């Protein structure tokens, strides 16, 4: 006696959260059944393994059918085939688009292309996440990217509107899309200590301040329509950043800046002497990062540069985070007192974001 | 009443990509009704086209309106080649044809393609303007309401329950026409879908005509089925119960919970209209009520007194569509003469009444209180027929005759049980190649003959109540004569009133009457059986099947009886025995809900007797088994809370009274019931059921008895509307369909192995259901409906549809229940007054009235009634088999002691009735449903929705779909294919209901699920037929806040996108 066909269809589609998770994690039916058996469900319910097998198959089939709809979540809401309560729909979508920290760190900033997709095998081996799950997550990133790529307006809003994600998840996706679009390097060894959260935080600040959308009004120049409001950094702004070079190129200005900062921080900083000794190096580092951002290659290395030029020197001198904060605040603010410097707004736009990023990046 | 049909195509969405180059679609829509077609403009390059068409108007006859479906086809425009069809929507516009139902159909419909499934949705608005036209010779029956519900629908009251209506239409199956060889599968499927839709419409119209003739205005318990006879054709047949219904005009008056079908009956206001007779008259009935409503008592006394009279009163030729029984020639001639003369004298009227009286059958399973007087037991009849090609679709005599024969048999069985009517009546077929088993079953019953002319009954309510009291356990009392019993049965005096005789066990096909007193809870009881049979052709095959049938019936009954005893119960309700025929085997599956009726005696245990008592180890084994059985019974009693009060102890010892000589008919006995005071408990309690283990087969049987696993704790199951013993339902419901197909290993199949496989299949299926629905605990699976089919040699398919309903564990069940029952009984007696019961023909009054419509039609029909001799010769008549079979059945009944009756206990409940019950009631309705967002459409096989009130019936849903695939593997194999299809069927049902402005389907049933696969060719095909009643319901919690507000069609159409679809 073999079972040829075995199905269960409810008027309200049954969703088992545990099985959904197993499915999302990319387990085969056999593995999922084994895992469920291990969870002790048979003892709790008095069911048999055959029942569990049939139940798991059923859920997998349902999820498989739902997957097509999950690729365009608004379709899930409007479709007529599966009657699912709204709260369940939200859960389905949210879980489907959720991703693993380990996975996202591997692909963050990489081009979401076929080439990367081929690397998924390696990522799967490295992270222990099943290849199936890796594919789903990667495809999610890519799908969101494709949909919002050409769109104008707020990145987070666009994502939320088209994928019906929660605010938090939409922000994360905004960061992923932003990183993918600008191809920021995140995989270098020295960046390994950074979490996805760190990058996402920085991405949000950069989206808010450094992109075209951040300026407010959409530019009226026709060719600038090519630029996406929130995805691409404001090219004009990056060009302008060259002007900041004067802060380190002009020796007088640099000295003045240093003395202003030192005066203000004297006695307030535990690592004052180290700061004083390193000021010029640090300042040069930060300003040079800004000046280099005209080149795409250097934009990609932004985080590498920040860590190399600022985080690592400070860390080697054992600056506490509070001191870093004091220093950065003073360092940014003091520029306003430099009479010879004319690019105050530009400086604020640059340093305001960078300060936030650096503070976030500054940890072990 | 010709009418104008108006259709507007608004928009489409989620259309499939038809143009690979642009990834878009250039869609347009064809709207077709009858032979008229309109087209919308092509909406270029969009997957979400906005046609916003003008109103397409069709001017049509109402006959067409009833028969034809509106056909909407969505196509992709192609400049160079033929336009590609995207899919179709068939809309049944019948609900728009009667005033109380929907006024507009408006909403998103899934666009369905038989090859690709659902491909996007289309928004359509449909309206109908009907012109009044009092043409008396009309062929249409607009205005007759149809209900699938097998009880009087909520928010209606029955003025008259007229009786049985039936009709069948036949046609060639397009799948077997020569043209099918050259057309595409899609074209073939669509031809079939369209044909069945047309035939359904025609059938419904014809039934409607019969109802109008009977002066009714509605059909309740409408059951339509189709038989795919393959080469020999396609039969669509329907049965139902004609009624005159009256809408309850005050929807505010309702009970907080409508858990039982007739609960609301007690709210039925005393008819506001001083003269209810005006309600009862159909659209074109000038006659007054009393002229055609008669008490059946006269009729039946006449029947029972003289069989000659009986026969002459029930001429078979009375069949409207013309049928010929197998009575002898001269007799038939006589009958025809009679009919003829009757027609000459009085036109169509007597004809009409003849037919109605011919089969006093009722498809209802639940009744207004007081309607059911006595229940005799289950009556069933089967017959094996050889199919032959239907030569002339316009004259479906053969099929008609077959059914007439079976019905006649049922009727005579009922008569043998001293009953004049059959309730809970249903018919079914099982077809394999050219052999067809026709089955009919029902419950023989005596119905309340009271005829009340005036609906204003307030005055006599009290009196009625008094009158009614003695008969409260009456439905269990035997209707047949004790001295002239149709079979030997152990009769005892009713455990409730102690005045009337009751049998020890009662089997019925109806739902548990609401006023019945049960002890503990009920449970689903199934008997499962397989029998191998040799492959054979034609007549040899039919003979083999006929020979097997009686044995199967016998074993099924034995199994049911054993299982019932094992559960410690004494009555079965909702019994449904299905015999399925396959190439090399027969399957029997009986499902019923066992209960302990307080009025019936406590069932005895089961005793095992071995045949070789000398063998010590064998003896030990036997006693071991006996112990196991006893333990199981004890366990079951505990599980189902069966603890009958020990009130009868002192009575048991009392001397056995001399049986009184009674020559009277039973009815008179019940009327003079107070005379009877002695108690007869000679049998009953001590009666043990003996199982003789004389071979391995019997051993197997005992084992299989003990292998049935009870549902896990927190679960109950039953196949009736509601679970006896549970009344505090909460509002969460989950309707589902589950299908399983197993392949038997073809090697060395034995009956035992088959039985085991089948048993395991059913048990595992139930286990899976319990597991899947575990999050709903405590809950009950209600209306569990198993269907077995044998699609191929080694395949067994089991389809289950049921609904899981949660209930509140914490409330005292029994208290609530008894209170409800009590209050129901009291309050609803008035309802009885509202019933008129025109089984009897009052010829005097008839003769004085002119003939109603359709005279010509009937005349011509009856003149056709004799089957041409040539044709008769070609159809092999297997009625002899049927006869033999039925005599066997009689014998079986004797042996298995199946057909019994019981009684209701009332004494215990009276004291428990307290005002607390009301409070409980209210609490129960409180928890709001998680699914209660706008646009959710509930589906349930029950006639009610827990925690809600049905405010409006929008019309019948009767849909037929075919799905086919040539890429089975790609669609996830057979499971993926069928899973998707069933989900699509649900979706289409919901969409139609939503478009009618409804939010639920009640009495939903999947009547057919025919699945065929050919994995080698990567192909599969499935046909599904579903039906139900579209309704609007209002949550009780909502109703308390806004009592007047009702969801309307307008509301529904305005909440377009998200809500409707979620």
The H-assigned helical ranges of B866-927 are 869-874, 879-896, 907-912, 916-925
Q: What are the counts of helices (DSSP H) followed by strands (DSSP E) for chain B? A: 26, 31
Identify whether the C-beta of residue B406 lies closer than 8 Å to the C-beta of residue B381. yes
DSSP B904: -
d(CA B104, CA B218) in angstroms, rounded, equals 21
A154/A60 same-domain check: no
Q: How far, in Å, CA of A163 to CA of A36, rounded?
A: 30
Q: List all residues 6 or more positions away from B774 whose beta carbon is below 8 Å from its beta carbon.
A: A45, B712
Check residue A113 and give its pLDDT. Answer: 81
Answer yes or no: is A223 within a domain.
no
Q: Are residues A260 and A310 in the same domain?
A: yes
d(CA A301, CA A304): 5
Query: CA B151 → CA B265, B413, B475, B514, B729, distances in Å?
Result: 11, 24, 17, 12, 20
**Beta-carbon count within 10 A of B179 CB:** 10
Residue B986's pLDDT is 95
- Of residues B311 and A54, more confidently modeled: A54
CA distance B803 to B57: 41
Residue A27 φ/ψ, nearest 5 degrees:
-80, 145
Size of interface A-B (CB pairs under 8 A): 148
> Which chain B residues are within 8 Å of A51, Cβ to Cβ?
764, 767-768, 771
Residues 53-112 (B) with a CB less than 8 A from some CB of A: 108, 110
Residue A224 belongs to a domain: no
Can you give the residue range of the structural domain that contains A288?
Answer: 235-361
What gap in Å lies between CA B456 and CA B454, rounded to an integer? 5
Residues from chain A contacting residue B933 (CB–CB below 8 Å): 85-86
What stretch of H or E contains A95? helix A86-97
β B1019-1035/B948-965 pair status = antiparallel
Which range among A218-222, A270-274, B251-255, B703-707 shows the weakest confidence by mean pLDDT? B251-255
A203 & A263 share domain: no
Q: Pull the structure tokens for residue B250.
A: 């005050």
Which pLDDT score, from 0 to 100, does residue B229 have?
Answer: 85
What's the number of domains chain A is made of?
Answer: 3
Burial B585-601 (b: 16+ CB within 10 A, else e): bbbbbbbbbbbbbbbbb
Instruction: List C-alpha distances in Å: A129 to A37, A247, B108, B706.
Output: 21, 48, 42, 47
Question: Is A7 inside any structural domain?
Answer: no
pLDDT for B51 equals: 93
Closest Cα in chain A to B745: A1
Q: How far is A36 from chain B (nearest CA, A)?
A: 13
- Same domain as A109, residue A71: no
Residue A29: inside a domain, yes or no? yes
Measure the CA–CA gap between B889 and B554, rounded to whole angstroms: 7
Which of residues 984 through 1023 in chain B touch A, CB cutoff 8 A? 984, 986-988, 990-991, 1011, 1013
pLDDT at A122 over 60: yes
Q: What is the pLDDT of residue B1029?
A: 93
Q: Is A3 helix (H, G, I), strand (E, B) or coil?
A: strand
Closest listed residue to residue B324, CA positions, set B215, B250, B415, B402: B402
Q: Answer whether residue A33 shows pLDDT above 90.
A: yes
pLDDT of residue A226 exceeding 80: no
Same domain, A241 and A343: yes
Based on the domain organization, do A60 and A130 belong to the same domain? no
Position A9 in a domain: no
A239 shares its domain with A354:
yes
Is B422 strand, coil or helix?
A: strand
The pLDDT value recorded for residue B610 is 65
In a domain, A217, yes or no: no
Report mean pLDDT in 10-residue bins for chain B, 1062 residues: 86 89 88 92 91 91 83 89 88 81 86 93 90 58 84 84 88 77 84 90 89 87 89 88 80 38 37 36 31 29 28 29 32 35 36 53 85 86 82 70 90 86 91 89 82 32 40 73 66 78 87 84 90 84 89 88 87 92 90 89 76 67 81 84 62 39 31 32 42 61 70 87 82 92 80 86 91 89 92 89 87 44 40 40 38 39 37 37 42 36 30 34 34 68 90 90 91 92 95 92 92 88 93 80 44 38 35
Judged by a CB distance cut-off of 8 A, whether residue A43 touches chain B is no
DSSP B24: B
CB contact under 8 A, B772 and A58: yes
One domain, residues A22 and A111: no
Residue A172: inside a domain, yes or no?
yes
Q: Is B648 exposed, middle or buried (0-12, 13-18, 19+ CB in 10 A)?
A: buried
Inform me whether the C-beta atom of residue A39 falls under 8 Å from chain B C-beta atoms: no
Taking an 8 Å cut-off on Cβ atoms, the answer to whether B121 and A80 are in contact is yes
ipTM above 0.85, yes or no: yes
Q: Are B825 and B263 in contact (CB under 8 A)?
A: no
φ, ψ at B527 (rounded to 5°): -115, 130
Residues 737-766 of B with CB under 8 A from A: 737-745, 757, 760-761, 764
Task: State residue B318's pLDDT score.
Answer: 29
Same-domain check for residues A239 and A353: yes
Structural tokens at position B588: 């029997």
Contact B976 A64 (CB under 8 A): yes
Q: For helices A251-265 and A272-292, what crossing angle results, to 10°? A: 140
The values of phi and psi at residue B18, to 5°, are -105, -20
* Main-chain phi, psi angles of B697, to 5 degrees: -55, -50
Query: Of A189, A208, A227, at which residue does a domain stop?
Result: A208
Instruction: Say if residue A258 is in the same domain as residue A357.
Output: yes
Alpha carbon distance B906, B822 (integer Å): 9
pLDDT bin (cut points 50, 70, 90) of residue A335 is confident
What residue has token string 């996706």? A173
Interchain proximity A65–B737, CB inside 8 Å = no
Pair A187, A261 in one domain: no
Q: Which residues pair with B377 in a beta bridge?
A: B444
Using CB atoms, which residue from A47, A57, A80 is nearest to B771?
A47
pTM exceeding the 0.90 threshold for the entire prediction:
no
- CA B760 from chain centre, in angstroms, equals 27
Residue B101 is predicted with a pLDDT of 64
Q: Please indicate, yes or no, whether residues A239 and A357 belong to a single structural domain of this protein.
A: yes
Domain contains A355? yes
Nearest to B930 among A47, A75, A85 (CB): A85
Per-residue burial over B18-52, b if 16 or more Cβ lie within 10 Å, else e, is beeeeebbbbbbbbbbeeeebebebbeeebebebe
Is A2 an 8 Å CB contact of chain B?
yes
Residue B14 and residue A1: Cβ atoms within 8 Å?
Answer: no
């Amino acid at each position: 006696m073999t079972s040829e066909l075995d199905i269960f269809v409810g008027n309200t589609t049954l969703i088992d959260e545990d099985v959904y998770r197993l499915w999302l994690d990319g387990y085969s039916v056999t593995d999922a059944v084994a895992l469920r058996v291990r969870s002790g469900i048979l003892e709790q319910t008095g069911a048999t393994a055959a029942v569990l097998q049939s139940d798991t198959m059923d859920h997998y089939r349902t999820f498989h059918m739902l997957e097509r709809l999950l690729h365009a979540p608004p379709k899930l809401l409007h479709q007529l085939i599966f009657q699912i309560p709204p709260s369940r729909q939200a859960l389905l979508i949210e879980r489907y688009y959720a991703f693993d920290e380990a996975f996202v760190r591997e692909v963050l900033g990489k081009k979401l292309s076929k080439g990367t997709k081929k690397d998924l095998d390696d990522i799967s081996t490295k992270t222990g996440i099943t290849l199936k799950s890796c594919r789903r997550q990667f495809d999610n990133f890519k799908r969101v990217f494709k949909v919002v790529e050409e769109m104008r307006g707020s990145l987070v809003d666009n994502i939320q509107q088209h994928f019906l994600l929660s605010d938090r998840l939409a922000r994360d996706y905004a960061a992923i899309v932003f990183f993918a679009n600008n191809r920021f390097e995140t995989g270098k060894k020295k960046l390994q200590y950074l979490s996805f959260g760190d990058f996402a935080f920085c991405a949000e600040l950069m989206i808010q301040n450094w992109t075209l959308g951040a300026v407010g009004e959409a530019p009226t120049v026709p060719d600038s329509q090519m630029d996406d409001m929130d995805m691409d950094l404001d090219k004009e702004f990056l060009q302008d950043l060259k002007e900041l070079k004067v802060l380190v190129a002009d020796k007088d200005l640099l000295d003045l800046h240093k003395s202003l900062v030192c005066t203000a921080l004297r006695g307030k900083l535990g690592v004052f002497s180290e700061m004083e000794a390193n000021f010029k190096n640090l300042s040069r580092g930060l300003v040079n990062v800004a000046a280099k951002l005209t080149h795409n290659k250097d934009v990609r290395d932004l985080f590498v540069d920040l860590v190399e030029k600022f985080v690592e020197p400070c860390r080697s001198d054992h600056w506490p985070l509070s001191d870093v904060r004091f220093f950065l605040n003073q360092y940014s603010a003091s520029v306003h007192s430099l009479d010879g410097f004319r690019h105050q707004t530009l400086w604020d736009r640059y340093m305001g974001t960078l300060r936030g990023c650096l503070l976030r990046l500054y940890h072990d | 009443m010709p009418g104008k049909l108006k259709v507007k195509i608004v928009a489409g969405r989620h259309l499939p990509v038809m143009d690979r180059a642009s990834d878009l679609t250039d869609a347009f829509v064809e709207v077709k009704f009858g032979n008229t077609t309109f087209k919308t403009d092509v909406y270029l390059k969009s997957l979400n086209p906005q046609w916003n068409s003008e109103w397409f108007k069709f001017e049509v006859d109402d006959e067409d309106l009833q028969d034809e479906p509106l056909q909407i086809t969505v196509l992709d425009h192609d400049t160079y080649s033929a336009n590609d069809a995207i899919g179709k929507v068939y809309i049944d516009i019948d609900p728009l044809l009667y005033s109380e139902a929907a006024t507009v159909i408006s909403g998103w419909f899934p666009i369905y393609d038989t090859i690709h499934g659902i491909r996007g949705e289309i928004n359509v608005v449909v309206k109908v303007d009907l012109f009044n036209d009092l043409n008396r010779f009309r062929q249409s029956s607009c205005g007759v309401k149809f209900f699938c519900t097998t009880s009087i629908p909520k928010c209606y009251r029955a003025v008259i329950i007229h009786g049985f209506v039936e009709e069948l239409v036949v046609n060639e199956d397009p799948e077997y026409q020569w043209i099918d060889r050259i057309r595409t599968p899609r074209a073939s499927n669509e031809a079939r879908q369209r044909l069945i839709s047309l035939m359904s419409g025609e059938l419904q119209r014809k039934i409607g005509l019969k109802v109008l003739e009977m002066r009714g205005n509605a059909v309740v318990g409408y059951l339509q089925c189709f038989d795919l006879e393959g080469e020999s054709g396609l039969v669509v047949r329907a049965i139902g119960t004609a009624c005159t219904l009256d809408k309850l005009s005050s929807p505010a008056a309702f009970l907080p919970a409508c858990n039982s079908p007739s609960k609301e009956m007690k709210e039925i206001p005393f008819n506001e209209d001083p003269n209810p007779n005006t309600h009862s008259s159909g659209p074109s009935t000038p006659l007054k009520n009393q002229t055609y409503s008669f008490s059946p008592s006269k009729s039946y006394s006449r029947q029972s007194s003289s069989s000659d009279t009986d026969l002459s009163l029930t001429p078979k030729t009375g069949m409207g569509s013309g049928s010929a029984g197998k009575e002898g020639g001269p007799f038939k001639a006589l009958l025809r003469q009679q009919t003829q003369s009757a027609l000459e004298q009085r036109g169509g009227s007597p004809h009409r009444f003849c037919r109605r009286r011919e089969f006093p059958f009722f498809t209802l399973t639940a009744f207004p209180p007081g309607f059911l007087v006595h229940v005799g037991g289950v009556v069933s009849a089967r017959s094996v027929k050889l199919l032959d090609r239907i030569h002339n679709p316009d004259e479906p005599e053969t099929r008609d005759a077959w059914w007439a024969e079976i019905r006649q048999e049922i009727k005579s069985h009922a008569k043998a049980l001293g009953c004049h009517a059959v309730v809970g009546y249903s018919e079914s077929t099982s077809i394999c190649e050219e052999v067809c088993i026709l089955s009919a079953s029902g419950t023989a019953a005596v119905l309340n003959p009271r005829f009340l002319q005036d609906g204003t009954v307030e005055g006599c309510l009290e009196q009625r109540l008094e009158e009614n009291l003695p008969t409260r356990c009456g439905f269990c009392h035997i209707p047949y004569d004790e001295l002239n019993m149709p079979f030997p049965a152990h009769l005892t005096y009713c455990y409730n009133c102690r005045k009337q005789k009751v049998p020890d066990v009662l089997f019925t096909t109806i739902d548990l009457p609401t006023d019945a007193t049960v002890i503990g809870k009920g449970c689903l009881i199934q008997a499962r059986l397989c029998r191998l049979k040799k492959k054979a052709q034609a007549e040899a095959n039919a003979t083999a099947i006929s020979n097997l049938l009686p044995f199967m019936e016998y074993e099924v009954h034995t199994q049911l009886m054993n299982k019932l005893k094992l559960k410690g119960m004494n009555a079965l309700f909702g019994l449904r025995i299905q015999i399925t025929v396959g190439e090399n085997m027969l399957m029997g599956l009986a499902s019923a809900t066992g209960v302990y009726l307080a009025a019936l005696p406590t069932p005895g245990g089961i005793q095992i007797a071995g045949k070789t008592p000398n063998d010590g180890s064998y003896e030990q084994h036997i006693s071991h088994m006996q112990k196991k059985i006893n333990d199981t019974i004890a366990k079951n009693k505990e599980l189902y809370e069966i603890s009958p009060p020990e009130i009868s102890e002192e009575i048991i010892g009392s001397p056995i009274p001399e049986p009184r000589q009674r020559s009277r008919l039973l009815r008179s006995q019940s009327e003079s019931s107070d005379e009877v005071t002695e108690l007869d408990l000679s049998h009953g309690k001590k009666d043990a059921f003996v199982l003789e283990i004389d071979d391995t087969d019997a051993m197997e049987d005992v084992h299989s008895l003990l292998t049935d696993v009870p549902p896990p704790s927190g679960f109950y199951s039953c196949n009736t509307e509601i679970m006896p013993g549970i009344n505090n339902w909460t509002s969460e419901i989950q309707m589902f369909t589950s299908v399983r197909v197993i392949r038997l290993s073809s090697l060395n199949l034995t009956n035992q192995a088959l039985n085991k496989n089948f048993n395991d299949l059913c048990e595992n299926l139930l286990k899976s259901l319990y597991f899947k629905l575990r999050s709903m605990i405590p809950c009950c699976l209600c209306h569990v409906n198993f269907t077995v089919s044998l699609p191929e040699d080694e395949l067994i398919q089991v389809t289950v549809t049921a609904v899981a309903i949660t209930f509140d564990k914490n409330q005292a069940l029994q208290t609530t229940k008894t209170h409800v029952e009590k209050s129901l009984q009291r309050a609803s007696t008035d309802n009885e007054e509202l019933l008129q019961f025109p089984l009897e023909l009052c010829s005097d009054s008839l003769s004085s009235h002119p003939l109603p419509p359709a005279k010509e039609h009937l005349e011509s029909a009856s003149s056709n009634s004799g089957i041409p001799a040539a044709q008769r010769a070609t159809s092999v008549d297997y009625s002899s088999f049927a006869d033999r079979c039925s005599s066997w059945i009689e014998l079986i009944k004797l042996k298995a002691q199946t057909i019994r009756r019981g009684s209701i206990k009332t004494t215990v409940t009276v004291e428990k009735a307290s005002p607390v019950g009301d409070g409980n009631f209210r609490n129960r309705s409180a928890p709001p449903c998680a699914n209660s967002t706008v646009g959710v459409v509930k589906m349930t096989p029950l006639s009610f929705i827990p925690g809600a009130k049905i405010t409006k019936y929008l019309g019948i849903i009767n849909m037929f779909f075919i799905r086919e695939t040539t890429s089975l593997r790609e669609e996830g194999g057979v499971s993926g294919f069928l899973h998707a299809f069933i989900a699509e069927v649900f979706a289409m049902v919901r969409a139609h209901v939503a478009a009618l402005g409804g939010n639920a389907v009640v009495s939903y049933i999947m009547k057919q699920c025919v699945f065929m696969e050919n994995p080698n060719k990567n192909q599969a095909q499935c046909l599904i037929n579903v039906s139900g009643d579209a309704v609007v319901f209002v949550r009780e919690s909502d109703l308390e806040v806004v009592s007047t507000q009702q969801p309307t069609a307008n509301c529904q159409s305005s909440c377009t996108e998200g809500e409707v679809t979620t």
